[in-house]
Chains A and B, each alone.
Chain A
Amino acid sequence: MVLKVFFPSCCASAESGILIGRWISEQNSAVILAVVHFPFIPVQVKQYLTEVQRVTKVSVSVLGSWSNSKQEKEESLSEFLEDLGTIFSHEPWIQISKEGDSKFWSCSTLQKNSNNPKEEEIILVYYDQRKVMLSHLHPPLDTAASTDHKAEDASKLSAIFDTVAKSKILFMTDRYDDGPIKLTHWQSDGVEASIIVELMKQASVPACMLLTFLLSLVSGVCRSRVLKFWPLSFLWSKLSTCEQLGHRLQHLQVISSNKKAQNQTQLMRKANIFVSLLIDVALGMLLMSWLYRKNRIGHLADTLIPVADHVAEELQDLLQWLMGAPAGLKMNRALDQVLGRFFLYHIHLWISYIHLMSPFIEMILWYVGLSACLGLTVALCILSDIIALLTFHIYCFYVYGARLYCLKIYGLSSLWRLFRGKKWNVLRQRVDSCSYDLDQVVL
């Protein structure tokens, strides 16, 4: 099988030394984690490696030698590196070398106890250590619950990712630290410490606590008995604004909780909610800044009343037509008149209320528009609620019509059952046959 060597890109410019990493014999691949520089004492290196092995449960060992010579290749150095192979015995001993500024590397292996001494092909894979360490190769969902053997079959590359991810402790010491071992790995390019990120992490804890406290106050007020009486609770359930605000409150509570996310899905959910809240508020602010310029609220308020009047007039015309036309409200002329006049009275009442409110419309709209800073979704909910309130009379017509229709259908179905000789059994909630007397049927 082909020998695969995974080499970190950060070690390409490191000075000569020996390579440490993990050898995965089932896949015939070597994952190199770091380079240990000269001078070192072999015993100390072995001690350090056993320590690391104990902590990370990853079988780290010395895999080979790396030589990066600025001058021409020295014979003594190559012999020295071969001799190292005898001190740290590992099968196969990998030797990678790069000369000066040349782009080409040479990679060879030394097999001491080889049964078939043939030239083995070597594939060198150059990998970005930090990114591999931070990524996680997810197993396919349906095999996640299966046995280990199947999970291994699913992806061989996941072993590489796991090796680098579990060896985080190896990346703590550096070649600039004082100690017996001098390593080069991805941290050698400069330890990552972004001040802004650190400051934000420190500041987020008290901010979260404050937010949790405020939210608990608000939810306590919302849950108080005063708002739970029957007419009010029915009203809150019908208005979409209240529902939306309830959802938002719940989202904020999820984000501001002090517990860290348990797994990836929870973290994604939190991040998702946070970003959606941000976008919502940004769009809401944009809408506000557009709405509050050039007296647009005033124009809106001015056009609202004439529109409502116009709608009412059209409805009245329609009702007059329905009362008279053959396919009107009802077949019965008297019933037509009664229903028609009833609906007309409704429209008259509603229009009077709207006219009563007309001086205050502009102020109400102005203050309600301020709630757009909570988010664009809240503004849209309020818009939908306003439209629902303005067309409430039409909704009433629908309810009356639906009730009458229901009644009629009930009567018709009862007569139909009578016609077939069956009856509705209230006790058993089903249709039973029933023998009627002659005078019952003929009425």
Chain B
Amino acid sequence: MEEWWYRSASGARIALRRRQHSASCRELAVRCPRLRLRSLSAATSAAWLAAYGLFVLTENSMVLSAAIIITLVGLIIYLHFVKIDQESLLVIGSLGIQVTSSYASGKESTTFIEMSQVKDVVINEAIHMQKVIYYLCILLQDPGDPQGVSEVVPLFQSSKPRLDCLIVVYKSCQEILEQRKTAPQSS
């Protein structure tokens, strides 16, 4: 198992971990930066100061309890639905590709794409906000048209690694995808 440190598109430090389970099975995981105590406390204090200001204006103590409840519920919702801790890619030659996103609350959401549907794994460019970023994506085969692409599945959407990290992931995937061209089709 190897681990390297890179930077994401927004400048935060991310870690890429690569595990080779066997000759045709590889797992690549990108770990996003954790939730900083600074930003959490800044958001909470801002919310509570605003609530205290409202309380002073309206003299209603319900505002304070509502602010506390909203902060707690908002934090739980953020951790469970928004904050992604780790995104991983498991490539099993001749079976398929599995994409997993694990959230900070422990929830995992996985998508499995069969190998017969995968046309290729490529690096594309995109305009995101005011930047041009690179992203890795899986091209899915169009069943009717052998040359066509029916869908593009982007990977590592929340960690957004930079080109150097993407090149390492791209090379690892291509090594396994090449095997299906050289392997004999029938046993």
Q: Specify which chain B residues have a CB less than 8 angstroms from the CB of A125 in the assembled complex.
A: 95
Query: Given A25-B187, A123-B94, are A2 and B116 neighbors across the interface (CB < 8 Å)?
Result: no
Query: Given A121-B23, A121-B24, are A4 and B94 neighbors across the interface (CB < 8 Å)?
Result: yes
Closest Cβ neighbor of B21 among chain A residues:
A123
Flag whether B40 is at the interface (Cβ < 8 A): no
Flag whether A219 is at the interface (Cβ < 8 A): no
The reply to whether B94 and A143 form a contact with Cβ atoms under 8 Å apart is no
Flag whether A388 is at the interface (Cβ < 8 A): no
Flag whether A75 is at the interface (Cβ < 8 A): no
Flag whether B114 is at the interface (Cβ < 8 A): yes
* Distance in angstroms between the alpha carbons of A395 and B111 in the assembled complex: 56
The reply to whether A1 and B184 form a contact with Cβ atoms under 8 Å apart is yes
* Distance in angstroms between the alpha carbons of A28 and B187 in the assembled complex: 6
Q: Specify which chain B residues have a CB less than 8 angstroms from the CB of A26 in the assembled complex.
A: 186
Smallest CB separation, B5 vs chain A (Å):
32
Describe B's contact surface by its main secondary structure.
Answer: loop
Q: Specify which chain A residues have a CB less than 8 angstroms from the CB of B116 in the assembled complex.
A: 153-156
* Distance in angstroms between the alpha carbons of A123 and B144 in the assembled complex: 30
Smallest CB separation, B104 vs chain A (Å):
27
Flag whether B143 is at the interface (Cβ < 8 A): yes
Closest Cβ neighbor of B146 among chain A residues:
A153
A residues 9-35 in Cβ contact with B at 8 Å: 25-26, 28
The reply to whether B185 and A155 form a contact with Cβ atoms under 8 Å apart is no
A–B pairs, 25, beta carbons within 8 Å: A1-B94, A1-B183, A1-B184, A1-B186, A1-B187, A2-B24, A2-B93, A2-B95, A3-B187, A4-B95, A25-B187, A26-B186, A28-B94, A121-B22, A121-B24, A123-B24, A123-B25, A123-B92, A123-B94, A142-B144, A154-B143, A155-B114, A155-B116, A156-B114, A157-B96
* Distance in angstroms between the alpha carbons of A121 and B114 in the assembled complex: 19
The reply to whether A150 and B185 form a contact with Cβ atoms under 8 Å apart is no
Q: Specify which chain A residues have a CB less than 8 angstroms from the CB of B92 in the assembled complex.
A: 123
Interface residues of B (CB under 8 A from A): 22-25, 92-96, 114, 116-117, 143-144, 183-187
Flag whether A179 is at the interface (Cβ < 8 A): no
Question: Which listed residue (A123, A154, A155) contacts B95, Cβ 8 A?
Answer: A123
The reply to whether A1 and B185 form a contact with Cβ atoms under 8 Å apart is yes
Q: A2-B94, A143-B144 are in contact. List 11 more A-B contacts (CB 8 A).
A: A1-B94, A1-B187, A2-B93, A4-B95, A123-B25, A123-B94, A123-B95, A150-B144, A154-B143, A156-B114, A156-B116
Flag whether A359 is at the interface (Cβ < 8 A): no
A residues 118-160 in Cβ contact with B at 8 Å: 121, 123, 125, 140, 142-143, 150, 153-157
Q: Specify which chain A residues have a CB less than 8 angstroms from the CB of B186 in the assembled complex.
A: 1, 25-26, 28
Closest Cβ neighbor of B96 among chain A residues:
A157
Q: Specify which chain B residues have a CB less than 8 angstroms from the CB of A4 in the assembled complex.
A: 94-95
Q: Specify which chain A residues have a CB less than 8 angstroms from the CB of B22 in the assembled complex.
A: 121
* Distance in angstroms between the alpha carbons of A2 and B23 in the assembled complex: 10
Q: Specify which chain B residues have a CB less than 8 angstroms from the CB of A154 in the assembled complex.
A: 116, 143
The reply to whether B24 and A143 form a contact with Cβ atoms under 8 Å apart is no
Closest Cβ neighbor of A154 among chain B residues:
B143
The reply to whether B94 and A140 form a contact with Cβ atoms under 8 Å apart is no
Q: Specify which chain B residues have a CB less than 8 angstroms from the CB of A153 in the assembled complex.
A: 116, 143
Q: Specify which chain A residues have a CB less than 8 angstroms from the CB of B96 in the assembled complex.
A: 157
Closest Cβ neighbor of B180 among chain A residues:
A1
Question: Which listed residue (A121, A140, A157) contacts B143, Cβ 8 A?
Answer: A140
Q: Specify which chain B residues have a CB less than 8 angstroms from the CB of A155 in the assembled complex.
A: 114, 116-117
Closest Cβ neighbor of A143 among chain B residues:
B143
* Distance in angstroms between the alpha carbons of A95 and B95 in the assembled complex: 21
Smallest CB separation, B84 vs chain A (Å):
26
Task: Please provide the 5 A-B residue pairs with the shortest distance between their CB atoms, ordered closest to farther.
Answer: A28-B187, A2-B94, A154-B143, A143-B143, A1-B183
* Distance in angstroms between the alpha carbons of A121 and B24 in the assembled complex: 8
Smallest CB separation, B53 vs chain A (Å):
33
The reply to whether A157 and B24 form a contact with Cβ atoms under 8 Å apart is no
* Distance in angstroms between the alpha carbons of A26 and B187 in the assembled complex: 8
Closest Cβ neighbor of A92 among chain B residues:
B187
The reply to whether A150 and B143 form a contact with Cβ atoms under 8 Å apart is yes
Q: Specify which chain A residues have a CB less than 8 angstroms from the CB of B93 in the assembled complex.
A: 2
Closest Cβ neighbor of B187 among chain A residues:
A28
Q: Specify which chain A residues have a CB less than 8 angstroms from the CB of B24 in the assembled complex.
A: 2, 121, 123
Smallest CB separation, B4 vs chain A (Å):
27
Q: Specify which chain B residues have a CB less than 8 angstroms from the CB of A1 in the assembled complex.
A: 94, 183-187
Smallest CB separation, B16 vs chain A (Å):
24
* Distance in angstroms between the alpha carbons of A26 and B92 in the assembled complex: 18
* Distance in angstroms between the alpha carbons of A125 and B92 in the assembled complex: 11
Smallest CB separation, A84 vs chain B (Å):
22
* Distance in angstroms between the alpha carbons of A123 and B114 in the assembled complex: 15
